[in-house]
A = this chain, B = another copy of it.
Amino acid sequence: MKHTPSRATGRPTLAQVAARAGVSQITASRALRSIATVDPQLAIRVHDAAKALAYVPNPAARTLASARSHSILVLVPALSNHLFIETLEAVQDVLRPRGFEVLIGNYHYRQDEEEELIRNYLSFQPCGILLTGFNRSETAAQLLTNAGVPCVYMMELRQEEGIVCVGFSQEAAGAKVADHLLSRGRRKLVFVGAQLDARVLQRRDGYQQAIARAGLSPAIEIMTPEPSSVELGGDLFNQLLAAHPDTDGIFFCNDDLAFGASFEALRKGVAIPERISVVGFNDLPGAGQMVPRLTSVRTPRATIGQQAAASLLKLLDGETPEIPALDLGFELMIRESS
């Protein structure tokens, strides 16, 4: 008798399931993968056998044999912004129950890091990729194309043949904020931006365009590539007050900046909204509790994650989503700060 090979995992294998069900291994494989060409009766026998043995497929073997994993890569520019956390959670909620493994890559808003992550993670042969926005290096884009892995883009929209994306119009959101501030009689408008990724710039553009449409001179721009934070918001606010004391309306590209500014305003006795109206972006947790309660644009980040995952599943099934560029809109939450 040959001894049992020591390097076996010890877990039941497909062969054992097949033996127990009295079918061939390949039939068991097909039955468990719900492939149509298996007799329903046999399929039931196989499933029963699998359950009885507590069989769990070996993903490595499956990936090796099929040259395609069941893992899905999600690339986000940051985890520190709560926004992306909600998107990730939604993505996981859709994909994990369907048996997919979700790999999370954080590229810290750096193109080179994103490229590196793509390069590394492609070696895992993911069966699909969820990406944030369209702004990436040529090489990264090329790697994705060459890999031939289905991709769905999140957050931004682009109407283009073969591109599947889920998001909302960052420009429209920026414009909406401008219109709102203008409707409140504000005329000395400012845009405060940090991080300066593509989406921040799109919001800025929409904001400025709306101001231009109203026949006013462009908003002053206070911008820094530093990562957005509460502390930075306070600093930029102080800087702004010193340089442009007559400012009467500010659009912060992210809520945390607005939070920091609000704190400084309280400290300095700058009346919000009486003297300056303040609007944030993303409606992060706490915006509605701030003093004063912060007006902000509520973005559908969870729904974006959910729908992006759903679209990717469609692509994996060989279908095309009926709406390739899905616009989920946004909502301006008008509160006390404006």
A interface residues (Cβ-Cβ under 8 A, vs B): 7-9, 56-61, 63-64, 66-67, 69, 79-80, 82, 85, 88-89, 92, 96, 101, 103-104, 106, 120, 123-125, 229-231, 234, 256, 259-260, 263-264, 266-267, 285-286, 288-291
Contacts and interface: CB of A to CB of B under 8 A. Distances in A.
Contact of A106 (B92, B103, B263): B92
Contacts of A103: 101, 103
A80 B85 CA distance: 7
A79 B85 contact: yes
A230 to B, nearest CB: 4
18 contacts: A7-B67, A9-B67, A9-B125, A60-B61, A61-B64, A79-B85, A80-B89, A80-B285, A92-B106, A101-B124, A229-B285, A230-B286, A231-B286, A231-B288, A256-B285, A256-B286, A266-B291, A267-B291
Given A80-B85, A103-B101, A291-B266, A123 B286 contact: no
Contacts of A85: 79-80, 85
Contacts of A88: 79
A46 to B, nearest CB: 18
Nearest to A234: B289
Contact of A289 (B56, B64, B231): B231
Nearest to A59: B124
A123 B57 contact: yes
Contacts of A291: 263, 266-267, 291
A79 B102 CA distance: 15
Contacts of A263: 289-291
B259 A289 contact: yes
Contact of A64 (B60, B67, B125): B60
A209 to B, nearest CB: 32
Most buried by B among A63, A66, A229, A256: A63
Contacts of A101: 103, 124
Nearest to A229: B285
A260 to B, nearest CB: 5
Given A79-B89, A89-B79, A230 B289 contact: yes
B57 A60 contact: no
A106 B89 CA distance: 9
A8 B290 CA distance: 57
- Nearest 8 pairs between A and B by C-beta? A60-B63, A230-B286, A60-B64, A56-B123, A266-B291, A60-B60, A230-B289, A263-B289
